[in-house]
Copies of this chain bind each other. A is one copy, B any other.
Amino acid sequence: MRNNENNLYWHKHSVTTKERWKSYGYKSCVIWFTGLSAAGKSTLANVLSKELHIMEVKNYVLDGDNIRHGLNKNLGFSHDDRKENIRRIGEVAKLFVDAGLIAMAAFISPYREDRSNVRRLLGNGQFIEVFVKCPVSECEKRDPKGIYKRARAGEIKEFTGVSAPYEEPENPEIILKTDEMSLEKCIKTLLNYLRENKYIQDSKYINGTNVKS
């Protein structure tokens, strides 16, 4: 490309993640929700997303709705495909962090190794693992999509918690027991973590328009 002499400084002058943080007023990271189906991962991610949006913190939720029918529609549920599923989600989450957003991922992600790989992929302190803990008996009682019923009937093979293992996180940053805690309490816990660890700043919005005491 023709450059005027005084414009050579332009070449490969990309915006760095730190420049983004400085201009946006918060630090990007991945909040990775893991847990059984119906434990509450997607609800938590979407409510937190709304809260952050109100606080003018740019964020985005990656979940089955926008990943399984798009980027990962050519993947099934074999062990290898589950591994590749989580790998790709981790890579996309990393791009969002690089772009300066708080990325939330809401996937069962049953294998410790796959989650560790994503943690390693991200920079120091950029991966916040949230164990959405709920007994399978309670998840089965909720069963909003009737999938536990189908799994018990043998219609779905290798269903996490029924016929496939779920490996609990050993050192998650946050544990939310959704059978004991209210949604409000869970969201407050998440926001407090982000505030205390300087991802987001103290703000008049911290107690939110939606989150009530």
Contacts and interface: CB of A to CB of B under 8 A. Distances in A.
Interface of A: 1-4, 7, 10-15, 19-20, 23, 40, 42-44, 46-47, 49-50, 53, 56, 58, 60-62, 66, 70-71, 74, 84, 88, 91-92, 94-96, 98-101, 178-184, 186, 210
The 6 lowest CB-CB distance pairs between A and B, nearest first, are: A60-B99, A71-B91, A1-B40, A14-B46, A70-B91, A1-B178
B13 A47 contact: yes
Contacts of A100: 58
Contacts of A179: 2
A119 to B, nearest CB: 15
A183 B84 CA distance: 40
A13 B66 CA distance: 15
Contact of A95 (B2, B42, B66): B66
Contacts of A92: 71, 92, 95
Given A58-B58, A66-B95, A183 B10 contact: yes
Nearest to A178: B1
